[in-house]
Amino acid sequence: MAFQFTDVNFNETALKEGQVSVVDFWAEWCGPCRMIGPIIEELHKEYDGKVLVGKVNVDENPNISMKYGIRSIPTILILKDGEVVDKQVGVTSKQILAKKIEAAL
């Protein structure tokens, strides 16, 4: 299962120096979020040990969502060394996300 980012653990997990993180902002009630969920799980398995792939439930963790100005979900941020290097809003393919991750590595 993909890593669960929270308001409490986000800074020490997602923003580590020398690390690439993929952060999926989602909610239980969001249909498109449920469509992209399995893709996030696959990327989590495929990049295990290389990239931290996880999810933020926007309803349960409003501080992270506000910090990054998340207005539409799903929104996927790709972070490198704690900085946003790429962003995907809405449903997309696994191939597009994998390309964005590879570009950040």
Catalytic residues: 30, 33
Q: Tell me, rounded to whole angstroms, the distance of Cα 29 from its chain centroid.
A: 18
